Amino acid sequence: MERILLDQQKIQIILHRLCCQLIERYGGLERIVLIGLQPRGTFLLDRIIKLLKSKHHIDQVHNGKLDVTFFRDDFRRTEKPIKANQNLMSVVIENRHVILIDDVFFTGRSVRAALTAIESYGRPSTIELMVLVHRRFSRHLPIKPDYIGVQMDALVGDKVKVSWLENDGKDEVYLQKRT
């Protein structure tokens, strides 16, 4: 059973708000590096960059795409072979403000893995977290997002899915109830 939580119009509004929050906090974003977590956080990253450039006239947006597959604490717990994504991190993060970007924040384990993985690229001044959907009450680690598109509550076992036009043919966030 699926229920639509956000449609294309609501997602667009949220993306604009997230961009405005970044600009409000950091101005022209010269010292900022946006890093999308592979695979699904990169779609949100790309949308944020596109809006910053087209609607807010910010020419240079430093960014990267980080795979955390082998930094996760559960990567050996699956029976099928693990397929990692490519790291696209040709950006300097030393003494910069890094904003990790993911589509859904659930337990915090992916973000914990990203914090470990990011050490390989230098020492940023600060690290913050931006998410499209924050699933409250399901955190396993003391990590919380700084920029939140929408907060929602879902039962353990329910899935929050984000569809992106570029990958899935439509922009939509929906809840799959466990059966």
- pLDDT level of residue 32 (50, 70, 90 thresholds): very high
pLDDT (tens digit, 9 = 90+) per residue, 134-170? 998 777 888 999 999 999 988 878 899 999 999 999 9
- pLDDT level of residue 2 (50, 70, 90 thresholds): confident
Integer Cα distance of 42 and 165 in angstroms: 13
Query: Measuring CA to CA, how many Å separate 52 from each of 92, 97, 137?
Result: 20, 17, 31
pLDDT (tens digit, 9 = 90+) per residue, 38-95? 989 999 999 999 999 999 999 999 999 999 887 765 555 566 666 667 778 889 899 9
Q: Give the pairing type, strands 147-152 and 62-66.
A: unpaired
Residues with Cβ within 8 Å of residue 73, at least 6 apart in sequence: 109, 112, 113
pLDDT at 125: 96
**pTM for the whole structure:** 0.91
pLDDT at 77: 53
β-bridge mates for residue 64, sequence order = 35
